[in-house]
């Protein structure tokens, strides 16, 4: 089946940041076969989709989250991270069964597809349920069983085996849409030797590491108290960065730590909304970008966001760093868009396959309804996408050449059932 989208504003996010007016994107199977001006002859295509008044751009890549936690949206706000985690999240999450995670994840998939995310990273528990939901939804994801080591030795072993089995069995499944990682939850929730064991498994499986790091000042201070060094040196010492690594948050970094991350090519997921809402602080994004670090965007979970609309992160990443550094070019619009796409692709360790509209890459793309007032006057599409657009403008979502949403209609998820089951699962929790 050969499909072509015609007469659209095509925002390629290629090396030249090319934007093609009256452009077209074609794909066959899961690959992009053409990106350029709308051809005069369309006879070679089985399906021609009119892209008039639409923008077509690479699907957004959400590089950190916990999809199952959408079940806790609005359950606890306006609290400090540690209290929020220990007194609110963890006691409810401890009651989560596979069913809670399944329906929380469905809720998240609906939100993400509707707001333009085509690939996401998920670190959580009951990952089999998450992987099955990803497989059936048609989404692309890099998944990992996040392990917290504040438990008995036996429990730690059990979790490590579970994480290993999950990572081995699900890697490259669902036609390659699902890949995996190994994930020690954080330096403050995993004893050093446990982190080393997890890294060893990642080595054996040849998989990347995903970990929370330096999210709060408290955590950094605690790390120094416990281990005599800040989290970056701690993880470096434990050998984590010898594996390809994606760290989430990275809010509190010294210049030296930024150098270290750059040296090891550590990838960073910037969770701008969550970091503000939990009062964690503002990450040094312009400095990291200047050092060539791949900084991408993550929503974190709906419990600390409280949605999974990556367009909010996109705009906020573009404006926040300007405002707090008094530098109006701190993160220009084009750079913010790269964070949401290309750098996201690097952060899920698939830079060749994802993140831009180029021939040979995976056909992961979204269409925006640019007929609306906030896309006018009709010029400067990149500016409009970053500063004026919204996740709800997404009309179509395509992953690996398959439509997951067409004209706002979800094609792979029963939305009504998912919403109803998510509510039922939430009601079952003791609060």
Q: How far is the CB of 398 from a copy of itself (least distance, A)?
A: 20
Tokens read off for 272:
């701008």
Q: Chain centroid to CA 112: how far? A: 10
Q: From CA 344, how far away is CA 425, in angstroms rounded?
A: 32
Shortest CB 19 distance to a copy of itself, Å: 12
Measured from the CB of residue 414, what is the shortest distance to a copy of itself in angstroms? 12
Nearer to a copy of itself, 240 or 418 (CB): 418
Name the 3-class secondary structure at 162.
helix
Q: Which of 142, 315 has the CB closer to a copy of itself? A: 315
Instruction: Select 71 or 232, whichever has its Cβ closest to a copy of itself.
Output: 71
In whole angstroms, how close is the CB of 347 to a copy of itself at the nearest point?
A: 22
Q: How far apart are CA 8 and CA 23, in angstroms?
A: 5
Q: For residue 383, how far is the Cα from the chain centroid?
A: 22
Q: What is the DSSP letter of 177?
A: T
Tokens of 356: 């831009």
**Torsion 379-382-387-388 (CA) sign:** positive
Q: Which is nearer to a copy of itself, 199 or 394 (CB)?
A: 394
CB atoms near residue 200 (< 10 Å): 14
Identity of the residue, 145 or 315, whose beta carbon is nearer to a copy of itself in the bound complex? 315
Alpha-carbon span 230 to 219, nearest angstrom:
9
Smallest separation, CB 37 to a copy of itself (Å): 22
CB of 124 to a copy of itself, least distance (A): 17
Copy the structure tokens of residue 142: 């890099």
Q: How many residues does the chain have?
A: 431
Residue 235 or 272 with smaller CB distance to a copy of itself: 272
């Amino acid at each position: 089946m050969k499909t072509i989208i015609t007469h659209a504003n095509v925002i390629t996010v290629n090396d030249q940041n090319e934007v093609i007016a009256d452009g077209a994107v074609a794909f066959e199977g899961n690959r992009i076969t053409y990106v350029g001006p709308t051809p005069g002859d369309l006879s070679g295509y089985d399906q021609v989709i009119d892209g008039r008044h639409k923008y077509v751009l690479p699907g957004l890549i959400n590089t950190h989250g916990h999809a199952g936690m959408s079940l806790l949206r609005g359950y606890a706000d306006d609290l400090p991270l540690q209290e929020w985690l220990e007194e609110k999240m963890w006691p409810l999450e401890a009651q989560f069964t596979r069913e809670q995670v399944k329906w929380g994840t469905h809720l998240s998939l609906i939100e993400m597809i509707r707001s333009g995310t085509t690939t996401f990273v998920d670190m959580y528990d009951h990952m089999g349920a998450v992987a099955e939901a990803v497989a059936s939804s048609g989404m692309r994801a890099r998944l990992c069983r996040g392990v917290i080591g504040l438990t008995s030795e036996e429990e730690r072993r059990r979790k490590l085996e579970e994480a290993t089995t999950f990572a081995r069995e699900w890697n490259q499944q669902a036609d390659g849409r699902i890949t995996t990682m190994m994930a020690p939850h954080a330096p403050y929730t995993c004893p050093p030797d446990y982190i080393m064991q997890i890294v060893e498994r990642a080595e054996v499986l040849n998989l990347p590491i995903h970990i929370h790091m330096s999210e709060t000042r408290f955590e950094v201070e605690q790390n120094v108290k416990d281990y005599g060094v800040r989290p970056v040196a701690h993880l470096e010492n434990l050998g984590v960065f010898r594996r390809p690594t994606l760290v989430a948050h990275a809010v509190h970094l010294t210049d030296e730590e930024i150098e270290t991350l750059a040296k090891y090519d550590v990838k960073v997921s910037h969770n701008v909304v969550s970091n503000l809402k939990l009062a964690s602080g503002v990450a040094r994004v312009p400095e990291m970008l200047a050092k060539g670090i791949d900084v991408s965007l993550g929503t974190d979970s709906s419990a600390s966001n409280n949605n999974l609309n990556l367009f909010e992160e996109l705009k906020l990443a573009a404006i926040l760093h300007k405002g707090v550094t008094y530098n109006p070019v701190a993160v220009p619009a084009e750079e913010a868009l790269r964070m949401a796409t290309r750098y996201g692709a690097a952060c899920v360790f698939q830079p060749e396959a994802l993140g831009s509209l180029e021939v040979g890459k995976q056909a992961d793309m979204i269409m925006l309804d640019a007929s609306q007032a906030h896309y006018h006057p009709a010029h400067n599409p990149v500016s409009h996408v970053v500063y004026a657009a919204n996740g709800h403008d997404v009309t179509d979502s395509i992953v690996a050449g398959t439509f997951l949403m067409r004209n706002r209609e979800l094609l792979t998820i029963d939305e009504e059932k998912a919403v109803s089951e998510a509510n039922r699962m939430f009601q079952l929790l003791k609060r």
